[in-house]
A and B are shown apart, each in its own frame.
Chain A
Amino acid sequence: MSDQPYHIPESSKLPFAMAVTLLVLIIGAANTVIDLGTDSNSYLILFLAFAMMWTTMFFWFRQVIHENQAGLNNPMLKDSYVYGMAWFIFSEVMFFFAFFFALAYIRNFAVPWLGGEGEKGITNMLWPGFEATWPLMMTPDQAIFEGPKEDMSLNTAYSHGGLAGVLGWLPLWNTIFLLTSSLTVHIAHLGLKNGNRTQFNVWLGMTLVLGYLFVIFQGLEYYEAYSHMGLTLNTGIYGTTFFMLTGFHGFHVCLGAIILTVMLLRSLNGHFTADDHFGFEAGSWYWHFVDVVWVCLVAFVYVM
Chain B
Amino acid sequence: MSTVVETHDHEGHHGPAKGLTRWLFTTNHKDIGTLYLWLSFTMLFVGGAMAMVIRAELFQPGLQIVQPEFFNQMTTNHGLIMVFGVIMPAFVGFANWMIPMQIGAPDMALPRLNNLSFWLLPMAFGILVSTLFMPEGGPNFGWTFYAPLSTTYAPSTVNFFIFSVHIMGISSILGSINIITTIFNMRAPGMTLMKMPLFVWGWLITAYLLIAVMPVLAGVVTMMLMDINFGTSFFNAAGGGDPVLFQHVFWFFGHPEVYIMILPAFGIVSHIIETFSRKPIFGYSSMVYAMASIAILSFVVWAHHMFTVGMPLAGELFFMYATMLIAIPTGVKVFNWVATMFRGSISFETPMLFAIAFVALFTIGGFSGLMLAIVPADFQYHDTYFVVAHFHYVLVPGSLFALIAGAYYWLPKWTGNMYDETLGKLHFWLTFISVNITFFPMHFVGLAGMPRRYPDYALQFADFNMLISMGAFLFGVTQLLFLFIVIKTIRGGKKATSEVWEGTRDLGLEWTLDSPPPHHTFTVQPQVK
Using CB atoms and an 8 Å cutoff, list the residues of chain A in contact with chain B: 1, 5-16, 18-20, 22-23, 26-27, 29-30, 33-34, 36, 60, 72, 76-77, 79-81, 83-84, 87-88, 90-92, 94-95, 97-99, 101-102, 105-106, 109-111, 114, 118-120, 123, 126, 136, 139-141, 144-145, 233-240, 243-244
Using CB atoms and an 8 Å cutoff, list the residues of chain B in contact with chain A: 8, 10-12, 14, 17, 21-22, 24-28, 105-107, 109-113, 115-116, 119-120, 123-124, 126-127, 156, 159-160, 162-164, 166-167, 170, 173, 176-178, 180-182, 184-186, 189, 211-216, 218-220, 223, 225-226, 228-234, 236-242, 244-245, 248-249, 252, 310-313, 520, 523-525
B116 in contact with A18 (CB, 8 Å): yes
Main secondary structure of the interface of B (DSSP, over half): helix
A-B contact pairs, 12 of them (CB 8 A): A1-B525, A8-B12, A11-B28, A18-B116, A19-B119, A26-B127, A29-B159, A83-B181, A105-B248, A136-B240, A145-B240, A233-B231
> In this complex, what residue of A is CB-closest to B21?
A11
A12 in contact with B238 (CB, 8 Å): no
Question: Chain B residues with Cβ under 8 A from A80's Cβ?
Answer: 109-110, 181-182, 185-186
Known: A13-B25, A120-B312. A90 touches B239 (CB 8 A): no
Distance between Cα atoms of A89 and B226 in the complex (Å): 24
A26 in contact with B160 (CB, 8 Å): yes
Known: A139-B240, A233-B230. A98 touches B220 (CB 8 A): yes
> In this complex, what residue of A is CB-closest to B12?
A8
> In this complex, what residue of A is CB-closest to B166?
A26
B232 in contact with A26 (CB, 8 Å): no
Question: Chain A residues with Cβ under 8 A from B213's Cβ?
Answer: 94
> In this complex, what residue of B is CB-closest to A133?
B240
A106 in contact with B226 (CB, 8 Å): no
Distance between Cα atoms of A5 and B269 in the complex (Å): 34
Question: Chain B residues with Cβ under 8 A from A16's Cβ?
Answer: 24-25, 115-116, 119
A98 in contact with B177 (CB, 8 Å): no
Question: Chain B residues with Cβ under 8 A from A27's Cβ?
Answer: 127
A5 in contact with B12 (CB, 8 Å): yes
Distance between Cα atoms of A109 and B232 in the complex (Å): 19
Q: Given A102-B245, A236-B240, list of 7 further CB < 8 A pairs?
A: A1-B524, A7-B10, A16-B24, A18-B116, A87-B177, A98-B215, A110-B245
Q: Which of B27, B185, B218, B223 has the most CB of A within 10 A?
A: B185
Distance between Cα atoms of A61 and B177 in the complex (Å): 18
Distance between Cα atoms of A243 and B378 in the complex (Å): 38
Please tell me which one of the listed residues A1, A12, A26, A243 contacts residue B163 in the complex, with CB atoms under 8 A apart.
A26
Please tell me which one of the listed residues A7, A72, A102, A144 contacts residue B234 in the complex, with CB atoms under 8 A apart.
A102
A126 in contact with B237 (CB, 8 Å): yes
Please tell me which one of the listed residues A20, A90, A140 contacts residue B211 in the complex, with CB atoms under 8 A apart.
A90
Please tell me which one of the listed residues A6, A102, A139 contacts residue B106 in the complex, with CB atoms under 8 A apart.
A6
> In this complex, what residue of B is CB-closest to A118?
B312
Distance between Cα atoms of A10 and B10 in the complex (Å): 8
Known: A9-B111, A87-B180, A139-B238. A19 touches B211 (CB 8 A): no
A55 to chain B, nearest CB (A): 15
A95 in contact with B216 (CB, 8 Å): yes
> In this complex, what residue of B is CB-closest to A88?
B177
A237 in contact with B313 (CB, 8 Å): no
A6 to chain B, nearest CB (A): 5
A172 to chain B, nearest CB (A): 26
Distance between Cα atoms of A95 and B218 in the complex (Å): 7
Distance between Cα atoms of A8 and B156 in the complex (Å): 44
Question: Chain A residues with Cβ under 8 A from B22's Cβ?
Answer: 11
Question: Chain B residues with Cβ under 8 A from A11's Cβ?
Answer: 17, 21-22, 25-28
B30 to chain A, nearest CB (A): 12
> In this complex, what residue of A is CB-closest to B225?
A33
Distance between Cα atoms of A239 and B14 in the complex (Å): 57
A15 in contact with B113 (CB, 8 Å): yes
> In this complex, what residue of A is CB-closest to B181?
A83
A204 to chain B, nearest CB (A): 27
Distance between Cα atoms of A79 and B11 in the complex (Å): 20
B244 in contact with A33 (CB, 8 Å): no
Question: Chain B residues with Cβ under 8 A from A79's Cβ?
Answer: 185
